[in-house]
A and B are shown apart, each in its own frame.
Chain A
Amino acid sequence: MSILIDESTRLLIQGITGKEGRRASIAARAYHTIVVAGVTPGKGSQNIDGIPVYDSIEHAFKYHPDINATAIYVPPFAAADAIREAIAAGIPLINVMTERIPIRDTAECLALAHRHKVRIVGPASLGIISSGKGRIGVAGGDDPDAIYALGTVGVISRSGGMMNEVSWQLRRKGIGISTAIHVGGDLLIGTPYADALKLFEADPDTKGVVLFGEVGGEYECVVAEMLLKKQFTKPLVVFIGGKFAQQLPEGMTIGHAGALIEKGKGSVQEKETALRASGATVVDRYEDMAIVIKDVV
């Protein structure tokens, strides 16, 4: 098994006529994923590499009622409306790739998604990949098989680049991956680590999880609480980047919008202490996650 996406995924791409959208459409099809339609307002009735384009999700649904996931590749100023359209259509998995969406828009969209019981992954996500089954987004680039082999480790990352790098380090140690998910680097995200861990907990084929975290926010601390409550019981190995940020002034962000430096909270040290105390293994070098998880799965 895997989480979030598999062979039954029927993908819509919002913004398919843009450069990024088109690339994602090609990437998905190159890796076992069926892309059924695209949406770009004003460009209905066109097609992109054989994929029909519609003016709205409503139109797309008329011809493709089997859509069960969408990837959003629209510019930041159009993103909130595109997400709201996907929520209104009830698409259960909304993977938002757009970067630099204003926080206020993200907060509104996350609250709406919660109310309508649909899942947002992102914003500023690179995507999700389930080894051998499918991908949304461009994880693994042109040759995902060189990095993502079928296996039993789940990967959760705050960084798209590091998701691939960490997955490569696992591959070097001969470890396969069930699903890798880039939750996105923004301050507010639709699927924080804790939510992804719940999905991995329920997936019988995932035996353990590696997590790439960053300075800022409370997401790792929520994970620590969940470990203490035994809501995640499989081996968890964590690396957290951004120790040097302690020297930086309060209020600034570094790397990702979510890597916010706040006085007295969100530091790497605080997160590491909480995670260690709750039973997770924390490593100092990201590549060591592969060594540790190999011993326990």
Chain B
Amino acid sequence: MILYEHEGKNLFRSYGIKTPQSVLVSAREELAHIVWDIFPCVLKVQVLKGKRGLHSGIFFAENTEDLSQKGEMLFAQPFQGEQVCAILVEEKISILAEWYLSMTYSTRYFSPVLLFSFSGGNHVEEQRDIFETVIHPVRGFEEFRIRNFFLKCGVRGKDLLALVSLSRSLYTLFSEEDARLAEINPLVRLSEGEFRALDAKVILDDDSEYRHTWHYPSRTVMGRAPTPREQAVRVIDTGEFYYRGTAGKYIEFDGNIACLFSGGGASISMMDALEAVGGRAANYTEYSGNPPREKVYELAKIVFSKPNVKGIWIVGGVANFTHIGETMAGIADALRDVAPSVPIVVRRAGPFEEEGRSRMEQTAREKNLNLSWYGREVSMTDTAKILMDKISI
């Protein structure tokens, strides 16, 4: 889960990382009653997208009137298509330099890594001068190693001590909160040894949710409020056996092909295959493992119910152990409920494939559906073209 800046900064403060003084305005109506007397101040739109500075998501205000006027402007329209859920009002601080500090996991070292740069801000990804050090997953944070790291970077004096201490806080947050990323960009230097986190980007590891009590409102990574159908899918994989088969991954796009994919690898490859033949997905959906009929039914019903769809593509590989009879039974249940009139192309094989095929074809006959079934003799990729041809007829 990606956190908003203000949520990230709350975490920062609770781990001893200093941030500018601030107040959160979480609705337009609150602007009128805001208690704030530090000027000039900064208004920052709270969205999950980056580059707010470049796209008018950040304003400065000189007085109360200015503040409420700029606040109205920020609330007035979506930011880069993303709904504005809140504005963070912060003291404007005078800075000497913008640096960069983050913790993440490295797929090269299979470990947490600490990243540091003397050049922070919007262009850090393009910079080549990012220093990196591995923090051993078992030995944990060893202060002398981090001190040596910053010494090698060329940090000295009070800055050295402050950055080691900041890094320890960031590492502790990263570990205890089960983050995948904890990033301070920019980390601003006010004076020698004095730093503030001017922005916060924290991504929490969803798989660790069972050992935390998170109270974050729901959100979609697409940078907008989740659609009702996305909300509905989320509950499918909750409950005691949340890890038994997955059927809760669903993201909506503005294309017109409803997609129901089996398996993570197949799903992303087939999104590519659809684009390659000019198709545009109405959604990304994936179920995998061996989800029970009911889970697949719930998911499929939501996928098929999206309006203005021109075709339905149900595709998966030659399954290892997924019971095709069972998962297709769930999909057939949903088809029976929704009875879509658009072309439906299925490609699936594996255990009990004949059962799956006959359930689907029987449903198609009952409900007079335009459904074609393909097995292992046709590749998944080829059925993208088959579907597009059917639609254009």
Least CB separation from B275: chain A residue: A244
Complex alpha-carbon distance, A24 and B289, angstroms: 14
Instruction: Judge whether A164 and B107 touch: CB under 8 Å.
Output: no
Question: Residues of B contacting A101 with CB < 8 Å?
Answer: 207
Question: Residues of B contacting A189 with CB < 8 Å?
Answer: 110
Question: Residues of B contacting A250 with CB < 8 Å?
Answer: 50
A77 at the interface (CB under 8 A from B): yes
Instruction: Judge whether A100 and B207 touch: CB under 8 Å.
Output: yes
Instruction: Judge whether B318 and A104 touch: CB under 8 Å.
Output: no
Instruction: Judge whether A161 and B263 touch: CB under 8 Å.
Output: yes
B151 at the interface (CB under 8 A from A): no
How many B residues touch the partner, as a band?
35 or more
Q: Number of A residues whose C-beta is below 8 Å from B?
A: 73
Complex alpha-carbon distance, A214 and B351, angstroms: 26
Instruction: Judge whether A239 and B276 touch: CB under 8 Å.
Output: no
Report B317-336 CB contacts with A as 1/0, cut-off 8 Å: 11111000000000000000
Complex alpha-carbon distance, A227 and B318, angstroms: 31
Instruction: Judge whether B262 and A161 touch: CB under 8 Å.
Output: yes
Instruction: Judge whether B266 and A77 touch: CB under 8 Å.
Output: no
Could you say which of A157, A164, A212, A243 contacts B318, with CB atoms under 8 Å apart? Answer: A164
Question: Residues of B contacting A248 with CB < 8 Å?
Answer: 221-222
Query: Which of A40-48, A59-67, A254-262 lines the interface with chain B?
Result: A254-262
Instruction: Judge whether B321 and A141 touch: CB under 8 Å.
Output: yes
A188 at the interface (CB under 8 A from B): yes
Question: Residues of B contacting A214 with CB < 8 Å?
Answer: 264-265, 268
B46 at the interface (CB under 8 A from A): no
Distance in angstroms from B181 CB to nearest chain A CB is: 7
Question: Residues of A contacting B66 with CB < 8 Å?
Answer: none
Question: Residues of A contacting B106 with CB < 8 Å?
Answer: 218
Distance in angstroms from A56 CB to nearest chain B CB is: 22
Instruction: Judge whether B381 and A141 touch: CB under 8 Å.
Output: no
Distance in angstroms from A197 CB to nearest chain B CB is: 16
A252 at the interface (CB under 8 A from B): yes
State the main secondary structure of chain A at its contact with B: loop
Given A159-B264, A160-B320; A242-B2 close (CB under 8 Å): no
Instruction: Judge whether A185 and B205 touch: CB under 8 Å.
Output: no
Instruction: Judge whether B268 and A103 touch: CB under 8 Å.
Output: no
A-B contact count (CB 8 A): 183
Complex alpha-carbon distance, A143 and B228, angstroms: 41
A169 at the interface (CB under 8 A from B): yes
Complex alpha-carbon distance, A285 and B381, angstroms: 7
A222 at the interface (CB under 8 A from B): yes
Given A141-B350, A263-B125; A158-B110 close (CB under 8 Å): no
Residues 169-217 of B at the A interface (beta carbon under 8 Å): 175, 178, 180-181, 201, 203, 205, 207-208, 210-211
Least CB separation from A216: chain B residue: B107
Instruction: Judge whether A241 and B105 touch: CB under 8 Å.
Output: no
B286 at the interface (CB under 8 A from A): yes
Instruction: Judge whether B318 and A23 touch: CB under 8 Å.
Output: no
Interface residue ranges, A against B (CB under 8 Å): 23, 27, 75-77, 99-104, 107-108, 110-112, 114-115, 126, 138-142, 147, 157-165, 168-169, 185, 187-189, 192, 212, 214-219, 222, 239, 241-245, 248-252, 254-260, 263-264, 284-287
* 28 interchain pairs, CB-CB under 8 A: A27-B321, A102-B178, A104-B208, A107-B137, A111-B110, A111-B111, A112-B138, A138-B320, A159-B263, A161-B264, A162-B269, A164-B317, A164-B350, A185-B265, A187-B105, A214-B268, A217-B107, A218-B106, A244-B268, A244-B272, A251-B48, A251-B201, A252-B2, A254-B284, A255-B268, A260-B180, A287-B379, A287-B381
Top 8 closest A-B pairs, CB basis? A159-B265, A165-B317, A161-B263, A255-B264, A241-B269, A162-B265, A252-B221, A102-B208
